[in-house]
């Protein structure tokens, strides 16, 4: 059945180890993606490679480490990347469109909706959206870190039916198969637990930023939003289509039984917190297991400056993340009522917008 699919391809698959684009690889993946469109699927491509494509072109001897150098390399490399995609897709009668996104484009719901509408129109017209992080303007504090996370957010935003994350490993193993010949590949994983994370390695290749752990993070985001995920290889003809049909060279990740509505997805994975609340053990238990709202009496301390309606992170006394929520007080007002009972809050403030610091309906658990 035709469906909407997001395919993420990393830097190491598109560029040479020394830097610069691998023209044959881009031609190959364009052909594989074109095959999906011929089967009736709507295809979105999340493509890394701008920095790796550009750093040699402007004279850097190796992939840059400083932010302004990466941004300069990306400014050159992104143009080269899109030029190559345009030519490769044109050979199959397809048009590619460039979409550059930042974390702010997701945290601002109006901008996210605008991006979503643009993508919808491109798909309607049979265009292949080629999406990348806007490295030239992104700052370290707000960067996705890798395009694995970006691909998951895009998949959830456009309500894709599939997310395929391509890598040089054919899925997740019980151990590193390059070191342990007894390692066994997982065909399907129903839940991404701490034990599963423990099987993931560290960073990725010298030209990319993403390792298996970042891909698991992406799979967790996507599956909680109702999008099944495939992580693996598709560097042979027809493998991408086989991955889409469920028998690819990798590991499948099933969707969660209870998927999150878009508002909760935005709150948990797309929003940018303006502050942090530290809560006591009782409040943590009430939020995690009791289905309750967060009251002032459960707040021990706070950090940051925020307004009523902003998103804040909630942590326990051990500085472990519990979740996120939309706060009903500004930081100045909340500072005066931390630890107070409901009666004390009413006595101190009189009439209030809401008694809860965070209402249960405006909360998502992330622990």
Instruction: Pick out the residues of the known binding site for ATP.
Output: 8, 167-168, 209-215
Q: Where are the beta strands (DSSP E) in 185-343?
A: 188-189, 229-233, 249-253, 275-279, 299-304, 311-315, 321-326
CB distance 251 to 190 below 8 Å = no
- Among 110, 94, 87, smallest CA distance to 26 is for 87
Q: Residues forming the annotated binding site for substrate? A: 48, 135, 147
Q: What backbone phi and psi angles, to 5 degrees, belong to 310?
A: -80, 160
User: How many other C-beta atoms are found inside a 10 Å radius of the C-beta of residue 311?
Assistant: 22
Tell me how far apart the alpha carbons of residues 339 and 75 are, in angstroms, rounded to a whole number.
50
Q: Residues forming the annotated binding site? A: 8, 48, 135, 147, 167-168, 209-215
- Give the burial class of 291: count Cβ atoms within 10 A of its Cβ; 0-12 exposed, 13-18 middle, 19 or more buried: exposed
What the block records as the tokens of 47 is 């493509």
Q: Where are the beta strands (DSSP E) in 88-224?
A: 96-101, 128-133, 162-166, 188-189
């Amino acid at each position: 059945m035709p469906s909407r699919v997001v395919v993420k391809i990393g830097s190491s698959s598109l560029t040479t180890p020394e830097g610069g684009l691998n023209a044959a690889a881009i031609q190959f993946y364009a052909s594989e993606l074109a095959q999906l469109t011929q089967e009736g699927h709507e295809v979105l491509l999340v493509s890394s490679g701008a920095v790796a494509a550009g750093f040699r072109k402007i004279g850097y001897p190796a992939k840059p480490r400083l932010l302004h150098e990466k941004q300069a390399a990306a400014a050159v490399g992104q143009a080269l990347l899109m030029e190559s995609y345009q030519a490769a897709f044109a050979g199959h009668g397809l048009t590619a469109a460039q979409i550059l996104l930042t974390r702010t484009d997701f945290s601002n719901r109006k901008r996210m909706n605008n991006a979503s509408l643009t993508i919808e129109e491109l798909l309607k017209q049979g265009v292949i959206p080629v999406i990348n992080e806007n490295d030239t303007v992104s700052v370290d504090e707000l960067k996705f870190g890798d395009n694995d996370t970006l691909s998951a957010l895009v998949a959830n935003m456009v309500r894709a039916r599939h997310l395929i994350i391509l890598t040089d490993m054919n899925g997740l193993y019980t151990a590193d198969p390059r070191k342990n010949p007894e390692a066994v590949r997982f065909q399907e994983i129903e839940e991404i637990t701490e034990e599963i994370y423990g099987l993931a390695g560290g960073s990725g290749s010298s030209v990319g930023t993403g390792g298996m752990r970042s891909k698991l993070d992406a799979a967790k985001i996507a599956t909680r939003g109702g999008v099944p995920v495939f992580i693996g290889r598709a560097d042979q003809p027809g493998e991408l289509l086989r991955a889409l049909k469920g028998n690819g060279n990798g590991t499948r990740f099933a969707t969660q039984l209870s998927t999150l509505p878009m508002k909760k997805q935005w709150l948990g994975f797309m929003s940018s917190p303006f502050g942090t609340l530290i809560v006591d053990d009782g409040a943590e238990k009430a939020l995690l297991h009791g289905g309750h709202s967060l009251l002032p009496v459960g707040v021990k301390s706070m950090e940051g400056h925020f307004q009523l309606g902003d998103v804040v992170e909630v942590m326990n006394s051990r500085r472990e993340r519990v979740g996120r929520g939309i706060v009903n007080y500004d930081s100045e007002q909340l500072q005066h009522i931390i630890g107070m009972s409901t009666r004390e809050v009413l006595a101190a403030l009189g009439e209030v917008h809401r008694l809860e610091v965070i209402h249960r309906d405006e909360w998502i658990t992330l622990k």
